[in-house]
Amino acid sequence: MEVAKRIKWKEVARYSVLSAASIVTIYPIFWLITLAFRTRRDFVASPFGLPNALYIGNFIAVFQTELIRDFFINSILITGLTLVIVTMIGTLAGYTLSRYEFKGSKIIFLAFLMSRMIPVNVIVIPLYSSLSELGLLGERAYYGLIGALVSLTLGMTVFLSRGFFRGISQEILDAARLDGCTELKAFFYVMLPMARSGIVVLTILNFISLWNEYFLSLVIIPRQEMFTLPLGLTFFRGRYGTNYPQLSAAILLATIPTVLLYFFFQERIIRGVGESASHS
Partner 1 sequence: MVKNFNISKLLVIISFLLPALSFYVLFYLYPVANGIRLSFFKWDGFSAEPQFVGLANYWEMFHDPIFWKSMMLNIKVVFLSLGTQLPLALFLASLLSKKGPGMRFFRTVLFIPQMLSLVAVGVLWQMIYHPINGLANTLLNVFGVGAIDWLGDSNNALTSLIITSTWTYFGFHMILQMAGMSAIPQEIYDAARLETKNPFRIFFHITIPLLRETILISVISITTGAFAHLLGLFWVMTQGGPIRSTEILGIYIYVEAFRKYHIGYANAVAVTLLIVLALIVAVTVRFGSQERLEF
The whole-angstrom separation of Cα 95 and Cα 110 is 15
Stretch that binds partner 1, among 49-57, 62-70, 189-197, 255-263 (CB under 8 A): 255-263
Q: Decide whether 169 or 278 has the Cβ nearer to partner 1.
A: 278
Q: Give the one residue of 183, 194, 203, 268 binding partner 1; rule: CB under 8 A.
A: 183
Angle between helices 2-36 and 244-277 (to 10 degrees): 140
Q: How far is the CB of 280 from partner 1 (least distance, A)?
A: 6
- In the complex, what is the shortest distance from the CB of residue 60 to partner 1, in angstroms, rounded to a whole number? 20
Find the binder of partner 1 among 59, 190, 248, 249 (CB under 8 A): 248
- 194 binds partner 1, rule: CB under 8 A: no
Q: How far is the CB of 74 from partner 1 (least distance, A)?
A: 14
Task: Tell me which of 191, 231, 246, 249 binds partner 1, using CB under 8 A.
Answer: 231
Site for partner 1 in 6-65 (CB under 8 A): 10-11, 14-15, 17-19, 21-22, 24-29, 31-32, 35, 43-44, 47-48
Q: 132 by DSSP, 3-state: which?
A: helix
Residue 245: Cβ within 10 Å count: 25
216: CB partners within 8 A, 6+ apart = 120, 121, 124, 127, 145, 148, 149, 152
Nearer to partner 1, 55 or 128 (CB): 128
Find the helix or strand (DSSP H, E) in which 224 lies: none
**Binding of residue 148 to partner 1 (CB under 8 A):** yes
C-alpha dihedral sign at 120, 122, 128, 134: negative
What does the DSSP assignment read for 147-195? HHHHHHHHHHHHHHHHHHHHTS-HHHHHHHHHTT--HHHIIIIIIHHHT
**Residues 6 or more apart whose Cβ sits within 8 Å of residue 22:** none
C-beta neighbour count of 269 within 10 angstroms: 17
Interacting span for partner 1 (CB under 8 A) from 59-67, 99-107, 164-172, 188-196: 99-107
x/- track of binding to partner 1 for residues 100-119 (CB under 8 A) = x-x---x-xxxxxxxx-xxx
Half-sphere exposure of 211 (CA within 13 A, CB side): 19
Name which of residues 65 to 94 contact partner 1 (CB under 8 A). 85, 88-90, 92-93
Closer residue to partner 1 (CB): 37 or 187: 187
Q: Which of 69, 73, 129, 224 binds partner 1 (CB under 8 A)?
A: 129
Helix axis angle for 66-99 and 57-64, nearest 10°, is 80
Residue span binding partner 1 (CB under 8 A) among the ranges 52-60, 164-172, 190-198, 254-262? 254-262
Q: Is 187 in the site for partner 1 (CB under 8 A)?
A: yes
Alpha carbons 269 and 43: distance in angstroms, whole number: 35
Instruction: Determine the size of the site formed for partner 1 (CB under 8 A).
Output: 103
